[in-house]
Chain A
Amino acid sequence: MGEGKGMDTETTEVPGDVFRDVLAQISDFVRTRVLPREIEIMNTDAIPDDLRAQAAEMGLFGYTIPQQWGGLGLDLVQDVEVAMELGYTSLALRSMFGTNNGIAGQVLVGYGTEQQKARWLPAIASGDVVASFALTEPGAGSNPAGLRTTATADGDGWIIDGTKQFITNATEAGLFVVFARTQPAPESGTGIAVFLVPGDAPGVQVGTKDAKMGQEGSRTAEVTFSQVRVGPDALVGSDGEVGYRAAMTSLARGRIHMAGLAVGCAQRALDESVSHAASATQGGTPTGDFQLVQAMIADQQTGVLAGRALARDAAYKYVSGEDRRIAPSAAKLYCTEMAGKAADLAVQVHGGTGYMREVPVERIYRDVRLMRLYEGTSEIQRLIIGGGLVRAAKKQAS
């Protein structure tokens, strides 16, 4: 079984029949409110204010935050179903509240002290505070062992120094969940701690919004921490050793969510392909009548079905505690690669039309490319899976 501390958050607070209504509501929101505005989101590079307000009012900023703190308290099995709905439209929508429900919020839910939870989680759940997960640095991605940001003990508090990059929602963040190496280094342990740094703390500097290939409407930026002083209450879990485990757990959980999201993207790519093939004609014949087009659609559909089954299975195994290490990476690896292929095929099915701006598959093609990179590249996932299996076998042999 997994690490005891985060376990209680893996029990859903929403029974199945109520969850069905919640999911139907999210699906309706995505398909009737957001989908018609995808081009607006792309062209303005922003989620319109009214959609943000609606999402917040509905409860989308805190659907995984426990009800005690103002959220809905979905577990990861349910989260994956939600992710599959959210993946159906511009990924920027999910990105807007993704860090609150996911990587950043989950660090607090799983490892925060009661005081830390009481201070931050209600505002995170309501969307009044956007939380950002500040782990990645120019020289350290998925392996926190390479972190260079430091937290130096100063009286009873800490002084944080370092630079983080590609930080999602940094430009809106009211709270940074910052991973740093404690100084002086402890004699044993990882020496990686995680801190809660208010967005307006002196010394926090957020760079300009990054220009990206896709995912218009979602915002990332570099964040610099220069001599940022925080009190002892900023140290998550009041424990300087929590950081490494919190990062690993939050990322593993996030990978399953990401797998679900990728399945949603692939489903949309498939639906767009099928509807195009059934209506667009070449020489008077619907292109879907051509067997080579049918073959592409068949490959997309097979990938979607396999990915959905894998994402759901990985979520069940995570919640039960059966596997929180290999399956999350396998699901993220397969589903994001599958979504990449499905998006590529979708452009192919559309022919020249698929290369045109404002055609949904052109956006999907660019949007999904990031999925194989963030929250651990495909290569990192392969290392976790392959390395993990070999290590386990060696351990058994010795």
Chain B
Amino acid sequence: MNIVVLVKQVPDTWSERKLSGSDHTLDRASADAVLDEINERAVEEALLAKEAHGGEVTAVCMGPERANEAIRKALSMGADKAVHLQDEGLHGSDAVATARALAAAIGTVESVDLVVAGNESTDGRSGAVPAMLAELLGWAQLTHARKVTSDGSAVTVERETDAGVATVEANLPAVVSVTEKINEPRYPSFKGIMAAKKKPVSVLSLADAGIDAGAVGLANAGSQVVSSAPAPPKEAGQKVTDEGNGGVQVVEFLSGQKLV
């Protein structure tokens, strides 16, 4: 079973994240960049599928040069190779354009049976790309998976949303997006890190992947951020000193805020 896993480099959620002043896109330079945590789980799931059914795992990433750190992490965990879609023209792409670009990049990988992605990234958080990608590829979409099983020809997932848990099944090829509950990602070994350096990474420009430059990027985005402001600093909270009636005071406070 040949599996593509989508990986994205995001600013570390522990570092200060901000938008750039000029075009309101993410200021990638100002924060530590890491492989998105949800992608580590996606990689783990892809590796488990490979271990069960054989085949190859290809990590596909769209992002600037620096994103190769996220790719290396996926390779050190055990992915076999990677495709890095890297082009200035992609800067500021919205979810639709991202899905289009990823679909083209996936098209360069031979006979893909399954695409595994995180359900949403920790930076953009649109949560739309996996579904859009499935639509563009013309494949089934099984999103918000908390459990994935496959017999090699079909894939079954437990889909968990606020509405409840549903078991859904589709024939391959398909796109699966996974949630935080899916698994505990493995820790790369030193040998895995050593091996990652020798694994092939194919770096593609828009032209290489056959993507129309007029369909992606900030200028062609369906929506635009026209202004942005940093979140106001947190105001000092109200301290309640417990002198025997602390519990009552807390409930009174919450009730005053109409929270209980």
Interface pair B191/A59, CB less than 8 Å apart: yes
Contact of A72 among B188, B190, B196, B197 (CB under 8 A): B190
Contacts of B188 in A (CB 8 A): 25, 58
Q: Is the CB of B76 within 8 A of A21?
A: yes
In the assembled complex, the Cα of A29 lies from the Cα of B191 at a distance in Å of: 16
What B residues does A59 contact at CB under 8 A? Answer: 189-191
**Closest CB in chain B relative to A56 CB, distance in Å:** 10
Q: Which residue of B lies closest to A59 (CB)?
A: B190
Is there a chain A Cβ closer than 8 Å to B165's Cβ? Answer: no
**Does B72 have its Cβ within 8 Å of any Cβ on chain A?**
yes
Q: Does A158 contact B (CB under 8 A)?
A: no
A21 to B194, CA, bound (A): 9
Interface centre among A25, A29, A63, A72 (most CB of B within 10 A): A25
> Is B193 in the interface zone, CB < 8 Å from A?
yes
B residues in contact with A72, CB < 8 Å:
190-191, 194
Q: Which of A79-124 contact B (CB under 8 A)?
A: none
Q: Which residues of A contact B253 (CB under 8 A)?
A: none
| Contact present for A17 and B190 (CB under 8 Å) | no
Contact check, B72 vs A57: say whether CB atoms are below 8 A apart.
no
User: Are B189 and A21 interface neighbours, CB within 8 A?
Assistant: no
B187 to chain A, nearest CB (A): 6
A58 lies within 8 A of B189 (CB)? yes
**Is the C-beta of A54 less than 8 angstroms from some C-beta in chain B?**
yes
CB neighbours (8 Å) of B197 from chain A are: 15, 17-18
* Complex CA–CA separation, A25 to B35 (angstroms): 13
Contacts of A29 in B (CB 8 A): 187
A22 adjacent to chain B (CB < 8 Å): yes
CB distance B190 to A63 under 8 Å? yes
Chain A, range 37-67, C-beta contacts under 8 Å to B:
54, 57-59, 63
What CA separation (Å) do A17 and B187 show in the bound complex? 19
- Closest A residue to B69 by beta carbon equals A21
Separation of A153 and B194 alpha carbons in the complex (Å): 45
Q: Tell me the minimal C-beta distance from B166 to chain A in angstroms.
A: 33
For A25, the chain B residues whose CB sits under 8 A away are 187-188, 190, 193
CB distance from A108 to the nearest CB of B (A): 20
Chain A 236-261 residues near chain B, CB threshold 8 A: none
Beyond the given pairs A18-B197, A21-B196, A25-B193, 18 more chain A to chain B contacts, judged by CB atoms under 8 angstroms and listed by A's residue number, are A14-B194, A15-B197, A18-B193, A21-B72, A21-B76, A22-B190, A22-B193, A25-B187, A25-B190, A58-B188, A58-B190, A59-B189, A59-B190, A59-B191, A63-B190, A72-B190, A72-B191, A72-B194
